[in-house]
Structure 1
Amino acid sequence: MERKALRTLALLAALAASTQLGAQEAVGVPPPSPSGWSAARTEWGDPDLRGTYPLDQVGRTPMQRRPEYGNRLLMTDEEYRKAVDAAADVEAGADREDANNQLGAGNWFEYGTALRQTALIVEPADTGRIPALTGEGKRLQTRMRSSWNGEVFEKLGDFNSLDRCITRGMPATMLPFPYNNGVRIFQSPGWVVINHEMIHEQRFIPLDGRPQPHEDVKSWLGSSRGHFEGDTLVVETTNFNGLSPMVIVGPSNGTSGIPTSTSMKIVEHFTPGPNGLYYEAWVEDPVVLTGPFKIGYPWTRNNAYEPFEYACHEGNTLVWANIRSTSPRYANWRAENERKLAEAGVTDNGGS
């Protein structure tokens, strides 16, 4: 089945979910289970979380609350109707492009629809936004570079971890993106694995009670340890390397990018329900942020969704070629570099 047809199925599922959430009153907590319902179990007795969860089903809900919503956790009926209509109009972009023999953002982006809640961040409830940066957080933010905000590209540090096809970072990896939003959960005795379509990332989460590695052992996505509390999978992640962003520098995330430090800690809850699961994440980084925040939103299971290959990896020469051919910033730097080389009597051989 073609991706477009799968997107249509995903949108129908998302619209069905949004209709159910139209009467949403509580935000930031798992919805109550229907009377008589109980979570399925794996063959070895753990709560069964396995399945595919395309996060684009809530892709039109922003991570941070927009100013027009003030301190409200939920949209009004009119606001929500407009949000769903706007999402449907964006999703129809592929059909409009096809009718005009075009290929553009309509066929590329997969935003899905919107939740009634005003943001994916549910605490602090009064703002729905990431708390203010500390002094050190502001200093680190000024050093954040990416292909979106750079003027000169001379070294690896001029590109962030997403540009380099390494990771979007945490908690960004667990949030919707404009495309490649497939998330699959696999389980085996003593393990949960979360596989992401975007940047083909996997998070391996042991459940056997082993301690975290030594504090000197750090990685891009941190080190996760999980256990079940009733039906809920609880995952604590530490040992971050402080090199990936909390929120990427980009054109549409409402920030100039949020950095991380090696002190970041994230506690996640995955609570199963009849149609999927409810995801929660408590994020704290006392070096960067003046306070913690919480993300909370539903994941709807849709096993008809087929993830595509994300053909990008660190050191991929096609990525650099694309940046070179499409970025006017790179072109300007290239011209200036060639001028300086010519003045110095050096011939540029086309290397990076």
Structure 2
Amino acid sequence: MTISRVAAAALAVPLLFAAPLAGPAWAADPVPSAKDYPPPPADWKVPRTEWGDPDLRGMWPVDYLAATPRERPPEIGTRTEWTEEEYQERFAQAEQRAGLEAAQDRVGILGMGHWREDGLPLWQTSMITQPANGRYPALTEEGRRAAAAVRNSWNTEVFDKISDFGIWDRCLSRGMPGSMLTGAYNMGLRVMQAPELVVIAIEMVHETRKVYLDGRPAPPPEVTEYLGFSRGHWEGDTLVIETTNFTPGFSNGPSPNSAQMIVTERLTPTGPDQIRYEAWVEDPVMLTEPYKIDIPWQRNPDYEFFEYACHEGNVQIRGYVTSTIPRFQKLREEQWAKQGEAPSPESGTCGAP
């Protein structure tokens, strides 16, 4: 349902925050692994834009992070860094995956080697660094209910209505914080700046985030967006972004998000072509506690966005429904046969058009 980069390799409460959100105590958090943050040149200073803000502009594709798991393997416990032996093993696996495209070309196969962009692993053991086990926190009762109700093309076999499809199936969004993280391909992020505005373009699903630096308040809580409403401010050289007003159900985390989700991000330059990206995700309706993502970004001026056409012509959703109708009808007929019943004229065919 997507186009790959083959050619190139709910409870609503008022959210009227007129002042910056308090946010967590960031200064106490060391980087997960110093090995992922090479020291900058001794004379390096954070560059400035023409109007004096720290200059974060450029291409920051997160394909570089694709071999690092979002959640830490349970057996690693609270370790934030791989051992030398573990890292070398993961590095060798990543190199093997990187060579899969050429290997499939040799035998005339168009397979996952042509689709996936896996990158090489970080030394840190997971993108999530808090809770201390590097895994999503436990869900609330409402979070468990919402997660169990999710239907999409990964867990559904018979498609009859639009709610049988997920937001990514429908090419709407990957939500937050997923849109800022890795996928299988099309993982470009581009940061652009103007006075009192930062814009983050996202290659997958071709979305654009606007981060307002002019002190404006958030809109009323009934005004929502898939990626929320973002306001930012500078703390020294760090861009702090507070995002509220999320449309419920559009997170791709451990459960769908509620309207009360808040995402607080920090983008801190750590070298000529590196940013430390931190994001706290809070959702008291769905999560029993917040979690934190903490990863390095690397600038890549040679990276190029490709069109993310998703399902061109908007035919795939209908195609899923019509292609599963015969399967559904067969299952119904088998059920009727077991019960000694005959189909009624009103039974229909799974809402077939």
3-state SS of paired residue (2:256)? coil
Residue 320 of structure 1 and its aligned partner are, at CA, apart by 3.8
Distance (whole Å) between structure 2 residues aligned to residue 336 and residue 159 of structure 1: 21
Q: Deviations over 1:216-248 (max 9, x none)?
A: 11121111101111111110001112121332x
**In structure 2, which of residues 276, 280, 283 is the aligned counterpart of residue 278 of structure 1?**
276
**Among candidates 303, 311, 318, match of residue 309 of structure 2:** 311
Over 3 Å counting, the alpha-carbon distance change for 1:320 and 1:56 in structure 2 is farther
Residues of 2 paired with 1:345 and 1:133: CA distance? Answer: 41
Q: 2:327 aligns with which of 329, 332, 340?
A: 332
* 3-state SS in 2 of match to 1:78: helix
Residue 292 of structure 1 aligns with which residue? Answer: 290
Which has the bigger relative contact order, CA under 8 A and spacing at least 6? 2
Match of 1:14 in 2: none
Task: State whether residues 61 and 303 of structure 2, in contact with CA within 8 Å, keep that contact through their aligned partners in structure 1.
Answer: yes
Report the residue type matching 1:62 in the other structure. Answer: P
Question: Structure 1 residue 152: deviation in Å?
Answer: 2.7
Partner of 1:235: 241
Moved more, 46-55 or 329-338: 329-338
Distance verdict in 2 for CA 1:58–1:52, change over 3 Å: same
Map of 1:252 onto structure 2: none
State the 1:307 CA deviation: 1.4
Report the Cα distance in structure 1 between the residues aligned to 2:333 and 2:33, rounded to whole angstroms: 55
> Which has the larger Rg?
2
SS in structure 2 at match of 1:82: helix
Q: Check whether the contact 1:28–1:122 (CA below 8 A) recurs between aligned residues.
A: no
> Mapping of 1:115-264 within 5 angstroms?
115-125=122-132, 127-247=133-253, 257-264=254-261
SS in 2 for 1:41: coil
The letter for the 1-side match of 2:306 is F
Q: How far 1:324 sits from its partner (Å)?
A: 5.5
- The 1:107–1:323 alpha-carbon spacing in structure 2 relative to 1, beyond 3 Å, is farther
SS in 2 for 1:270: strand
d(CA) in 2 for partners of 1:310, 1:324: 25
Q: Which moved more, 1:268-277 or 1:258-267?
A: 268-277
User: What is the distance in 1 between the residues matched to 2:216 and 2:52?
Assistant: 20
Find the aligned partners of 2:192 and 2:332 in 1 and give their Cα distance. 49
Write the distance in 1 (CA, Å) between the matches of 2:131 and 2:152.
28
In the TM superposition, residue 342 of structure 1 has moved relative to its aligned partner by 8.1
Compute the TM-score of the two structures, normalised by the length of structure 1. 0.83
Structure 2 spans left out of the alignment, 5+ residues: 10-29, 337-341
Structure 1 residue 68, shift from structure 2 partner: 2.5
1:65·1:118 contact (CA, 8 Å) conserved in 2? yes
1:35, distance to aligned residue in structure 2 (A):
2.7
Q: Deviations over 1:120-165 (max 9, x none)?
A: 001112x101110011111111111111111332221111110110
Aligned length: 321
Instruction: Tell me the secondary structure at the aligned position of residue 211 of structure 2.
Output: strand
Match of residue 119 from structure 2: 112
Distance in 1 (alpha carbons) for counterparts of 2:82 and 2:127: 13
Does structure 2 conserve the Cα–Cα contact (< 8 Å) formed by 1:267 and 1:281? yes
Question: Offset of 1:276 from its aligned partner?
Answer: 2.4
Q: TM-score, normalized by length of structure 2?
A: 0.83
